[in-house]
Amino acid sequence: MTTLSSHKFISNTWAAGQRLQAPSPARVCYDSQAMWVLEATDETGAGRVTFRMASGAIKTIGRATGADFILDAALVSRLHCRLSAIEPGLDVVDLDSTNGTFVNGERISRATLKAGDRLTVGRVELRVSQSAFPAATD
């Protein structure tokens, strides 16, 4: 198992052998925008998974290496769905997945998520939340 302290977060991936350093508190402020967080726990069978998206980002979820967020779990299509972080919510579009994309238990082709919603991709349930987005200052 890999620990956080031995890896550096670089654009949705961890680089081995580099140590994370927390920014100096004096150099961090909180942007008016919020970061979207999608999180699954071990109960879903995918292990603990966390995806983070800044406002304006567009990402895909799927099993394929071409997906922005790779979710290697049962019933997840190669490119399963697309997420767009726009105000006031997080848009999700099913990409003609075999087993469908679900929001709060209902199958959707397109929906806007808000904090507290549950996005189900294959057998993985991701809980949607928002958190303050730290921005470095000069």
Rounded mean pLDDT of the chain? 77
Output 31 or 106, whichever has higher pLDDT: 106
Output 74 or 34, whichever has higher pLDDT: 74
C-alpha to C-alpha distance for 48 and 50, rounded to whole angstroms? 7
Segment 119-132, tens digit of pLDDT: 999 999 999 999 87
Give the pLDDT of residue 32. 47
Segment 91-108, tens digit of pLDDT: 999 999 999 999 999 999
Segment 72-98, tens digit of pLDDT: 899 999 999 999 998 889 999 999 999
Average pLDDT over residues 31-53: 76
Query: Could you tell me the pTM of the whole model?
Result: 0.70
> Among 95, 130, 102, 99, which residue's Cα sits nearest to residue 118?
102
